Amino acid sequence: MTDDLREITGGKLARLYTFEVAARRASFAEAASELALTPSAVSHRISQLENELGIKLFTRGHRRIELTREGERMYAAMSSSLEFLNREVQSIKNQEYAGRLAVYCRPSFAQSWLTPKIADFLDKYPLIELVIYTGNEAIDLQKMGADLAISFDAAKPERFHQEYLMDESIVPVCSPHYAERYSLYRQPENLANCRLLHDRQAWSTYSGDDEWKLWATHFGLDIGSTLATEFDQAQLAVTAATHHAGVAMGRKKLLSQKLASGELILPFPQHELRCEQHYYISTHADKRWPKIEAFIAWLKETAAAGGDKISAAHRQ
Count Cβ atoms below 10 Å from residue 42 Cβ, excluding itself: 25
Among 297, 281, 292, residue whose Cα is nearest residue 161: 281
**Amino acid 310: pLDDT:** 34
Domains for the chain: give ranges and CATH numbers: 3-93 (1.10.10.10), 99-316 (3.40.190.290)
**Amino acid 1: pLDDT:** 40
**Amino acid 247: pLDDT:** 96
**Amino acid 204: pLDDT:** 56
**All residues at 6 or more sequence positions from 62 whose CB lies less than 8 Å from its CB, including other chains:** none
**All residues at 6 or more sequence positions from 14 whose CB lies less than 8 Å from its CB, including other chains:** 45
Instruction: Establish how many alpha carbons lie within 13 A of residue 228's alpha carbon, considering only the half-sphere containing its beta carbon.
Output: 16
Residues in the chain: 316
Q: Which residues of 212-251 are buried (b: 16+ CB within 10 A; e: fewer)?
A: bebbbeeeebebeebeeeebebbbbbbbbbbeebbbbbbb
The answer to whether 106 and 136 are in contact (CB under 8 A) is yes
Rounded to two decimals, the pTM is 0.63
**Amino acid 309: pLDDT:** 39
CA distance 194 to 13: 74
**Amino acid 206: pLDDT:** 55
CA distance 201 to 218: 20
The rounded average pLDDT for each run of 10 residues, N- to C-terminus, in the chain (316 residues) is 43 85 92 92 92 92 88 90 75 74 92 93 91 86 88 76 92 96 93 88 63 90 86 88 94 91 94 91 87 95 69 34
The answer to whether 247 and 195 are in contact (CB under 8 A) is yes
CA distance 99 to 314: 41
Phi-psi region of 279 (alpha: psi -120 to 50; beta: other; left: phi over 0): beta
